[in-house]
Structure 1
């Protein structure tokens, strides 16, 4: 198999290095990732300036752009082959619930999916970053399963793995996205010039974290696997809006 790997933590992150080492056991691996941390970049493309691609000493390619830029550039111009699968990660921190809207990790996988390639965003759902090996084990299992039974059509999977030792992982669960409370207020501070500056506040606590959600799976040390879709149409409102426009 041939794999394209990207992320939003940057080409130097321990998660992407661990993922590349794992997938290399299954085939050819090319890494194209941002030159710096682009967490929260979502699905943004850089359209106001050209992009450059450089290669690090370990062979990884890095781009002065977003995670979406990296995958788009790789698939549409940089690579001389079409990847069989695209992996984004291993992200340092969870990407669950509403966070997936902002996530650069999920965005990189989404771009692959939009280009017609099965894609997986994989995140270590904890901030200690102690057990990337656990997420790597899950990635290995997913690829092995895909080799046994390839996807009939492109899929977009959002995978979150508890930050616990591999032996403490429970089963994989297919989940839906949960929901959070509103984010915490912004944090005000002063810069050296005395101007007020603002930091975006932390995410809120989980509001919808019941059975079947990604939050519930992670709380029980299960691996959360959520298939995502991209049609944002509010089908339940079509008739109502039509009536509102044409009373």
Structure 2
């Protein structure tokens, strides 16, 4: 099995180093193409106003001066004589739960693989000041990836996996759940003035309170489980099609 690894925290991120170790347990045909620098929150952005440069670090390790989407896109176009069988993105330093998936470069990198028709998995480790780092991912990632790699996935589908902020032995198991939604807010906004007297704004992050709806990724991780959620690129709200179409009928 040929595997392409990528992320949004950058090729030198600790979570990515861990992912490379885990992927080596699954295959001897592992390729790396990741952003040269951190791109957290980049979403599914594609670099169009600047050239993207590809740097080779070793036989199958590359980085790009661009976004997670750039990394996967360029890898699929330039690196392979045949496409990979699986794209794995992560392991992200921090959870990607609920509507945060719309901002996530980790999810979007996997989505880029899915758009090319390649099964894709995104992995994220919740931290929440636990001091345990990637402990749960280290103990469980290979056990989660193996069965998912054999799942017949629908086109343009990504599996979003989040590990709880626990020691590996404290994880209660795996729940396959739907995406949840946060109750409010998109983090803090810090305002300041630069040395030239001009105002600036800096988006910050903080814990967002949420109602733990039953059967969601938010609830699963909060309860000490690994959440596994199939996501897809089709954002159409089918239940609204007829109501909107009626506005233009006749």
Determine if the TM-score, normalized by the shorter chain, exceeds 0.5. Answer: yes
SS in 2 for 1:164: coil
Aligned length: 246
Gaps in structure 1 of 5+ consecutive residues:
none
Residue number among 207, 212, 230 corresponding to 1:209 in the alignment: 212
Structure 1 residue aligned with 2:48: 47
1:139, distance to aligned residue in structure 2 (A): 2.5
Within 2, Cα distance between the matches of 1:146 and 1:241?
A: 37
Structure 2 residue aligned with 1:233: 236
Structure 1 residue aligned with 2:73: 72
Within 2, Cα distance between the matches of 1:231 and 1:110?
A: 11
1:206, distance to aligned residue in structure 2 (A): 3.8
TM-score (norm: length of structure 2): 0.91
Structure 1 residue aligned with 2:33: 32
1:182, distance to aligned residue in structure 2 (A): 2.2
Q: Within 5 Å, give how 1:121-132 maps onto structure 2.
A: 121-128=122-129, 130-132=132-134
Q: Within 5 Å, give how 1:1-247 maps onto structure 2.
A: 1-27=1-27, 28-56=29-57, 60-128=61-129, 130-146=132-148, 149-151=150-152, 153-154=154-155, 155-180=157-182, 181-202=184-205, 205-246=208-249
Native 8 Å contact 2:138 2:168 kept in 1: no
1:132, distance to aligned residue in structure 2 (A): 1.9
Bigger CA drift: 150-159 or 193-202? 150-159
SS in 1 for 2:100: helix
SS in 1 for 2:162: strand
Within 1, Cα distance between the matches of 2:81 and 2:179?
A: 36
Within 2, Cα distance between the matches of 1:138 and 1:85?
A: 18
Deviations 1:187-215, CA, capped at 9 Å, x for gaps: 11111112110011435624342221111
Within 2, Cα distance between the matches of 1:71 and 1:44?
A: 12
Flag the 1:203–1:99 CA change in 2: closer, same or farther, 3 A: farther
1:53, distance to aligned residue in structure 2 (A): 0.9
Bigger CA drift: 160-169 or 179-188? 179-188
Within 2, Cα distance between the matches of 1:114 and 1:25?
A: 26
Native 8 Å contact 1:183 1:204 kept in 2: no
TM-score (norm: length of structure 1): 0.92
1:242, distance to aligned residue in structure 2 (A): 1.6
Flag the 1:211–1:146 CA change in 2: closer, same or farther, 3 A: closer
Bigger CA drift: 22-31 or 121-130? 121-130
1:138, distance to aligned residue in structure 2 (A): 2.8
SS in 1 for 2:3: strand
